[in-house]
């Protein structure tokens, strides 16, 4: 009698491995069915520990990453942590940076702000003066000074004594542009004059004016102008005092409520701006004090507060 095959030739669908009891029962059934093949019965597993359950690949990957992270944390825990940054570290870094790229001084930044607004003012003494170098040399003795642009239409503030008695006035802007200028206003009690230039540079920049209400002795200032025709030149110092009084050599003219400063100023600085460290004009240089016959600076200069310019230009500058 022909025996039916126990196994199919086709590959069965993925089957779960038989449990331990099922394997033993299959072996016994095979032995009963065919004693000759009893020695071919499946042997019992060597161990009885259950096989691990199947997990999706994504979970295996996540578990691996977690294991790596935990291992790294464990290694890191055994290493010393980073040293906290101290104030000394910050100071050293700042010093190193400043040594490599020094910052410009406060005076240099103030000068850069005011430079485009400063002009040279030349009072031409007679109709024969053409404004050439010889005229400037003659004006050096009496009518050479500085000024500052306060409105971008060419309005310039200067000292009255620079242009008083001049046949004509010429101004030279920061870029070399030369122009005739007209006196459009004066304020003799404060030694102020307002000029209007007829020809302007393309990029004329007016100065920023600042009230002296919060100005204090000891505040840093710079004086900018053309001392002895050299310029523009800048000198720095401090406000030495407020509310000062000055009389000219003849004693005929008295100026009051002046700013005293110690930034170097000489003939030619008159009419130029006195500037704070933020680049703002707080005064117009008007005089220097020297009890000797020499017309040089000995440490005492005076400037008219910029508030006095309000009536000279016809409106408040603030």
C-alpha pair distances (Å), 61 with each of 52, 274, 300:
16, 75, 84
Contacts of 207 (CB under 8 A, 6+ apart): 114, 117, 148, 149, 150, 273, 280, 281
- Lowest average pLDDT, out of 16-25, 153-162, 298-307, goes to 16-25
The pLDDT of residue 268 is above 80: yes
* Other beta carbons less than 10 A from residue 137's beta carbon: 11
Q: What pLDDT band is residue 57 in, cutting at 50, 70 and 90?
A: low
Q: What is the pLDDT of residue 85?
A: 87
Q: Which helix (H) or strand (E) holds 186?
A: strand 178-187
The secondary structure of residue 116, as a DSSP letter, is: G
Q: Are residues 221 and 307 in the same domain?
A: yes
Closest CA to 224 of 296, 163, 167, 301: 301
End-of-domain residue from the set 140, 170, 197: 197
C-alpha pair distances (Å), 248 with each of 148, 255, 299:
23, 9, 17
Q: What is the pLDDT of residue 106?
A: 94
Note whether 279 and 113 are within 8 A (CB).
yes
The whole-chain average pLDDT of the chain stands at 78
- Residue 156 and residue 121: Cα distance in Å, rounded? 10
Q: Are residues 142 and 217 in the same domain?
A: no
Long-range Cβ contacts of 39-47 (<8 Å, 24+ apart): 44/20, 45/20
End-of-domain residue from the set 161, 178, 197: 197
Decide if 76 is catalytic: no
Q: What pLDDT band is residue 65 in, cutting at 50, 70 and 90?
A: low
Q: Are residues 193 and 255 in the same domain?
A: no
Q: What is the pLDDT of residue 58?
A: 55
90: in domain: no
The pLDDT of residue 313 is above 70: no
Q: Are residues 193 and 272 in the same domain?
A: no
Q: Are residues 219 and 285 in the same domain?
A: yes
The pLDDT of residue 31 is above 70: no
30: in domain: no
237: in domain: yes
283: in domain: yes
Q: What is the pLDDT of residue 27?
A: 46
Q: Are residues 178 and 215 in the same domain?
A: no
- Lowest average pLDDT, out of 92-106, 146-160, 161-175, goes to 92-106
231: in domain: yes
Closest CA to 258 of 193, 201, 212, 224: 212
Give the pLDDT mean for 175-193. 94
- Lowest average pLDDT, out of 21-25, 106-110, 249-253, goes to 21-25
Q: What is the pLDDT of residue 25?
A: 44
Give the CATH number of the domain where residue 190 resides: 2.40.10.10
Q: Are residues 184 and 214 in the same domain?
A: no
Q: What is the pLDDT of residue 241?
A: 96
Decide if 191 is catalytic: yes
Q: Exactly one of 191, 226, 233, 235 is catalytic; which is it?
A: 191
Q: Are residues 119 and 177 in the same domain?
A: yes
Q: What pLDDT band is residue 102 in, cutting at 50, 70 and 90?
A: confident
The pLDDT of residue 226 is above 90: yes
Q: What pLDDT band is residue 41 in, cutting at 50, 70 and 90?
A: very low
53: in domain: no
pLDDT tens for each residue of 154-176: 999 999 999 998 889 999 999 99
C-alpha pair distances (Å), 197 with each of 7, 172, 179, 304:
116, 10, 6, 22
Number of domains comprising the chain: 2
The pLDDT of residue 218 is above 90: yes
Decide if 253 is catalytic: no
* Other beta carbons less than 10 A from residue 30's beta carbon: 16
The secondary structure of residue 235, as a DSSP letter, is: E
Please compute, for residue 241, the number of CA atoms within 13 A of its CA located in the half-sphere on the CB side.
Answer: 12
Q: Are residues 193 and 212 in the same domain?
A: no
Q: What is the pLDDT of residue 157?
A: 95
Q: What is the pLDDT of residue 316?
A: 57
Q: Exactly one of 117, 161, 179, 240 is catalytic; which is it?
A: 161
End-of-domain residue from the set 197, 228, 249: 197
Q: Are residues 240 and 220 in the same domain?
A: yes
For the CA atoms of the chain, what is the radius of gyration? 47
285: in domain: yes
| Helix residue ranges per DSSP H, the chain | 20-33, 57-77, 87-100, 106-114, 133-140, 160-163, 309-313
- Locate tokens 């006195």: which residue? 274
The secondary structure of residue 97, as a DSSP letter, is: H
Full domain range(s) for residue 163:
111-197
Q: Are residues 223 and 301 in the same domain?
A: yes
95: in domain: no
DSSP 18-46: PPHHHHHHHHHHHHHH-GGGGGGSPPPPS
Q: Exactly one of 117, 143, 179, 270 is catalytic; which is it?
A: 270
Q: Which residue has the higher pLDDT, 105 or 18?
A: 105
- Residue 299 and residue 240: Cα distance in Å, rounded? 10
Which is it for the CA torsion 309, 314, 317, 318, positive or negative? Answer: positive
Q: Are residues 309 and 212 in the same domain?
A: yes
């Amino acid at each position: 009698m022909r025996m039916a095959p126990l196994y199919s030739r086709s590959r069965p669908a993925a089957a779960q491995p038989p449990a331990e009891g099922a394997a033993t029962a299959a072996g016994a059934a095979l032995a009963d069915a065919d004693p000759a093949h009893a020695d071919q019965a499946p042997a019992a597993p060597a161990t009885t520990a259950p096989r691990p359950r199947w997990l999706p690949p994504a979970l295996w990957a996540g578990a691996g990453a977690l294991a790596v992270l935990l291992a790294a944390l464990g290694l890191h825990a055994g290493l010393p942590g980073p040293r906290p940054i101290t104030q000394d570290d910050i100071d050293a870094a700042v010093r190193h940076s400043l040594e490599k790229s020094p910052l410009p001084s406060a005076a240099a930044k103030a000068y850069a702000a005011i430079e485009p607004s400063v002009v040279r003012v030349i009072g031409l003494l007679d109709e024969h003066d053409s404004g050439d170098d010889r005229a400037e040399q003659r004006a050096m003795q009496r009518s050479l000074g500085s000024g500052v642009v306060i409105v971008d239409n060419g309005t310039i503030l200067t000292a009255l004594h620079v242009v008083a008695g001049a046949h004509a006035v010429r101004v030279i802007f920061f870029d070399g542009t030369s122009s005739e200028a007209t006196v459009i206003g004066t304020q003799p009690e404060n030694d102020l004059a307002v000029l209007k230039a007829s020809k302007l540079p393309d990029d004329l920049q007016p100065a920023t004016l600042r009230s002296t209400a919060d100005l204090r002795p000891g505040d840093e200032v710079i004086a900018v102008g053309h001392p002895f025709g050299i310029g523009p030149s800048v000198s720095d110092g401090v406000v030495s005092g407020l509310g000062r009084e000055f009389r000219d050599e003849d004693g005929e003219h008295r100026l009051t409520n002046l700013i005293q400063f110690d930034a170097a100023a000489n003939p030619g600085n008159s009419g130029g701006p006195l500037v704070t460290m933020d680049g703002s004009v707080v005064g117009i240089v008007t005089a220097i004090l020297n009890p000797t016959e020499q017309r040089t600076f000995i440490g005492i200069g005076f400037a008219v507060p910029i508030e006095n310019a309000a009536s000279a230009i016809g409106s408040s500058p603030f």
